Structure 1
Amino acid sequence: MAADQQKTAGLRERKKAKTMAAVQRHAMRLFRESGYHATTVEQIAEAAEISPSTFFRYFATKEDVVSSDNYDPILISAFEEQPADISPLRALRNAVMAGLSELSAEELETVWERNRLIVSVPELRASMLNNLSQTMQMITEMIAKRIDRKPDDLAVRTMSGAAIGVIISVLLNYAEHPEANLIQLMDEGLAQLEAGLPL
């Protein structure tokens, strides 16, 4: 892909991510006001000034508006831009930090609200686990490509699984401690993993 095409694709992905984040902010407000179960997709779409059909272009279900986001392409791009001479885990840590640093204060607030809601609604926890398993597969493929190994390599899968474990622990911690700094927590968690998980 030519540089101009990559730049256009990157801008498109960022715009999509911003639109998804805006819909999520409206959804979170409605969930606060009326409760998760009482809020409909139609109400979320109306608040976001989009049609229900447009909502479903971004989110397959109401659960997805809480459990999913569109930051994966940003993570992939940041990962691929990492220097070849650093470890896959350091490249992943750098890419995650780069992606999080792009989030506005409002987007970080939405992340906290989403995590708090996921912890309290059972069907959302199931949706989150499905979403994270897809992210783990994506990370597995990114690492395998970087080190020229197969995605079904157990060592590669173990590394991506460990990274997802860190992400889950950080997000749960952040849901319980909204005063914390998500970016700092994530960096500390991934640094601990990179150091071999010392206690």
Structure 2
Amino acid sequence: MTDWRERKRERTRAALREAAFRLFAERGYEDTTVADIAAQAGVSHMTFFRYFPTKEDVVLRDDYDPMLEELVRAQPSERPPLRRVRDAVMRAMPEVYERDREALLLRSRLLLDTPALRARMGESLRGSQIAFERGLCDPPGTEEVPMAVRVVAAACVSVLTTAITIWVEDGGGGDLPTLMGHAFDTLEAAGAQGG
């Protein structure tokens, strides 16, 4: 019974998110209301708030973080932390990019161009950093995250943010996984020069 309820919740959450992004693309973020999103998804205005505390949270919530945490954790622990994160991201990104390219571009544009979202973007980035930290910590659930792990996780978030920003500035014209690979190359080269 619980699995059925959870699947139903996930379907409703996905329907709300898809409706929101469709309306944001058609009308713009500011001109789309929560009531519009709920109506488009076929649910009540109050149902929206059971899934997202605010309209901003539809965009800010990153559904990829749990997947990335697991992929980082699955990497061989003897590899350097930066390589573990890079390999996890580069393994997942081509499929995500192919499946969700337009939604990724719209979400990224909204985060970079909408003042209300840009003001809260640190929350979303912090969630990604925590996902990388958790994936790198051994054993999982370690209370005290070592400074080296925090630094690598923060650097990897910066790599991804820079690649995504360049991609958005180019109107989504480049290949995002390739840009991410170049950004990781740059970080690794800088580390090799400094070492």
**TM-score category, normalised to shorter length:** 0.7 to 0.9
Q: Label 1:57 to 1:79 Cα distance change in 2 as closer, same or farther (>3 A).
A: farther
The alpha carbon displacement at 1:57 in A equals 4.1
Q: Which residue of 1 aligns with 2:186?
A: 192
Q: Paired residue for 2:79, among 64, 78, 86?
A: 86
Name 1:30's counterpart in structure 2. 23
8 A contact 2:52–2:58 mirrored in 1: yes
Determine which of 176, 179, 185 is the counterpart of 1:182: 176
Contact 2:21 2:106 in 1 (8 A): yes
- Residues 19 and 40 in structure 2, CA contact (< 8 A), matched pair in contact too: yes
Matched, 1:96 2:89: yes
1:43 partner letter = D
The CA deviation at 1:29 is 2.4
CA distance in 2, matches of 1:154, 1:89: 14
Q: Which moved more, 1:105-114 or 1:52-61?
A: 52-61
> How far is 1:151 from its partner?
4.0
**Partner in structure 2 of residue 68 of structure 1:** 61
Counterpart code for 2:166: N
How far does residue 172 in structure 1 lie from its aligned partner after superposition? 0.9
Q: CA, structure 1 residues 76+121, in 2 after alignment: closer, same or farther (shift >3 Å)?
A: same
Structure 1 residues 87 and 149: CA distance shift in structure 2, 3 A: farther
1:165 corresponds to: 158
Contact 1:45 1:55 (C-alpha < 8 Å) held by counterparts = yes
Give TM-score scaled by structure 1 length. Answer: 0.78
Q: Which residue of 1 aligns with 2:147?
A: 154
Change beyond 3 A, Cα 1:179–1:20: farther
CA distance in 2, matches of 1:94, 1:151: 24
Cα–Cα, structure 1 residues 171 and 104, in superposed 2: closer, same or farther, change >3 Å? Answer: closer
Deviates more, 1:165-174 or 1:133-142: 133-142
Contact kept, 8 Å, 2:133 with 2:149, in 1: the verdict is yes
The amino acid across from 1:85 in the alignment is E
**RMSD (Å) for aligned C-alpha atoms:** 3.0
Report deviation, 1:158: 1.3
Alignment of 1:107 with 2:100, yes or no, is yes
One of 115, 138, 145 as aligned partner of 2:138: 145
Is contact 2:72–2:132 with CA below 8 Å preserved after alignment?
no
Give SS of 1:85's match.
coil
Residue number in structure 1 paired with 2:113:
120
Please tell me whether the aligned partners of residues 45 and 51 of structure 1 are also in contact (alpha carbons under 8 angstroms). Answer: yes
Aligned residue-pair number: 187
Measured after TM superposition, the shift of residue 20 of structure 1 is: 5.0
Identity %: 35
Q: How far apart in 1 are the matches of 2:155 and 2:186?
A: 11
